[in-house]
């Protein structure tokens, strides 16, 4: 019985390396499709908790995980040796930027090196980690071929970009089309067959490079358009116009316009980072990605702009940032999630503290954040007694379960970066200038 037959009859054993925001949902999807799934992670505490049916990812409930653990369709381990018994291995490890904004593919390299002793015939390997075009062929393939197995004959390799959007209840792995690009036609066929088990639509492309570029185009598109929305907000402030009114009106056009809204900056693992992978690759080919660089400049300035709005508001009330107690409301990088990766709130907190402010935070989804080598805890709740103890409340992530009317009633000054409020004397809104 060969690999294709195993996939078709749901008897394929699937392994997933990296059990974070991408890897764990992938495990659950294949487990719920009836396949046996083994998760691999280097974090012993995560492995232990998952085997006890306890999820650390907001999009995966303990109930869904426990069901798969109970029927022995999911288990997790620290040991790469399990690859010897797998039919499929999906790599979902982080791909951050290093200190000089160059791609850090060390996690991918670590995985391929670690799995090399356990390579065997009829193994399908899929890389899902976001990376620059060429990674699958230049890094993963070159390493795995050292095993002596032959690509397209005794083992198979694809790239399939992850498209998971944390907190999005409308789109899941099932109803989000899955792009697959294999090193050979057989690789693409097997990869497409695999993902058809968990996705309603699979989109095969001609190569792993094309699939890698798909992911970078998607998030570069978003980064550039968010950059345009952010610059429009600054322009509207100078013009005495309301950017939210302008954006809503423009979005009534049924063609040629897609709505993007401004905010305090970019967050999450994808949009701030993925375009930089493409920009880095193009620099290696002696080409400057001008749109990417400009969007990066605008988006990374937004935390500074928010601090400027806070400072202006305090000045109008006869106060300075230095010595002021400031509450950041919502430190996750977007609405209704607990993810603070690359959150602009962290940059705003740093800038305010550098200016001498006493900064605290409230987020119903985030209890504490790592800060300056330690951790700081958020306040547990906000009420009519705690709100007035802060000179400014800054709305950064507009979580649904926050009492904004209470904040409006008791706050001395509000800086709103998410269009939570309409105009009021004590509210400064991002993208809204004084009317002339």
Active-site amino acid positions: 270
DSSP 8-state class, residue 433 = P
- Determine the Cα–Cα distance for residues 227 and 220; give it in Å rounded to an integer: 10
- Determine the Cα–Cα distance for residues 390 and 360; give it in Å rounded to an integer: 9
Give the count of beta carbons closer than 10 Å to the beta carbon of residue 356.
Answer: 11
- Determine the Cα–Cα distance for residues 272 and 295; give it in Å rounded to an integer: 10
Tokens of 402: 């926050």
- Determine the Cα–Cα distance for residues 350 and 340; give it in Å rounded to an integer: 14
Burial 165-199 (b: 16+ CB within 10 A, else e): bbeeeeebbeebebbbbbbeeebbbbbbbbbbbbb
Beta strands in 65-106 (DSSP E): 74-77, 88-91
β-pairing verdict for 155-159 and 374-377 = unpaired
- Determine the Cα–Cα distance for residues 221 and 216; give it in Å rounded to an integer: 8
**Residue 193 neighbours by CB under 8 Å, 6+ apart:** 4, 7, 8
Rg of the chain, C-alpha, whole Å? 24
Residue 125 sits at φ, ψ, to 5 deg, of -115, 130
Tokens of 23: 């890897």
Residue 7 three-state SS: helix
Tokens of 278: 């493409």
């Amino acid at each position: 019985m060969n690999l294709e037959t195993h996939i078709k009859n749901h008897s394929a054993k699937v392994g997933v390396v990296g059990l974070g925001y991408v890897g764990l949902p992938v495990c659950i999807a294949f487990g719920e499709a009836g396949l046996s799934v083994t998760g691999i992670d280097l974090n012993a505490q995560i492995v232990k908790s998952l085997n006890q049916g306890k999820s650390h990812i907001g999009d995966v409930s303990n109930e869904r995980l426990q069901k798969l653990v109970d029927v022995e369709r999911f288990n997790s381990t620290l040991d790469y040796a399990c690859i010897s018994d797998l039919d499929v291995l999906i790599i979902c490890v982080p791909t951050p930027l290093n200190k000089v904004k160059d791609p850090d593919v060390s996690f991918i390299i670590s995985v391929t090196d670690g799995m090399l002793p356990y390579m065997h015939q009829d193994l399908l390997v899929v890389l899902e980690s976001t990376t620059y075009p060429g990674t699958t062929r230049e890094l993963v393939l070159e390493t795995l071929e050292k095993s002596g197995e032959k690509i397209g004959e005794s083992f198979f390799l694809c790239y399939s970009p992850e498209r998971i959007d944390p907190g999005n209840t409308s789109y899941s792995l099932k109803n989000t089309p899955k792009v697959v690009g294999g090193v050979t036609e057989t690789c693409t066929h097997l990869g497409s067959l695999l993902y058809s088990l968990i996705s309603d639509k699979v989109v095969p492309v001609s190569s792993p490079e094309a699939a890698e570029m798909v992911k970078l185009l998607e998030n570069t598109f978003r980064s550039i358009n968010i950059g345009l929305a952010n610059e429009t907000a600054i322009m509207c402030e100078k013009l005495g116009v309301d950017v939210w009114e302008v954006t809503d009106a423009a979005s009534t056009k049924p063609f040629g316009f897609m709505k993007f809204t401004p905010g305090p900056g970019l967050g999450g693992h994808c949009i701030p980072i993925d375009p930089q992978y493409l920009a880095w690759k193009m620099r290696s080919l002696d080409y400057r990605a001008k749109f990417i660089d400009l969007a990066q400049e605008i988006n990374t300035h937004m935390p500074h702009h928010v601090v400027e709005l806070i400072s202006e508001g305090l000045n109008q009330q006869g106060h300075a940032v230095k010595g002021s107690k400031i509450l950041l409301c919502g430190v996750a990088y977007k609405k209704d999630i607990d993810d603070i990766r690359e959150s602009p709130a962290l940059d705003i907190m740093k800038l305010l503290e550098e200016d001498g402010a006493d900064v605290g935070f409230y987020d119903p989804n985030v209890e504490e954040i790592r800060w300056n080598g330690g951790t700081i805890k958020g306040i547990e709740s906000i009420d009519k007694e705690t709100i007035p103890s802060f000179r400014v409340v800054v709305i950064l992530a507009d979580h649904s379960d926050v009492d904004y009317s209470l904040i409006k009633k008791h706050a001395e000054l509000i800086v709103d970066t998410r269009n939570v409020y309409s105009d009021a004397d004590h509210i400064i809104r991002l993208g809204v200038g004084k009317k002339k």
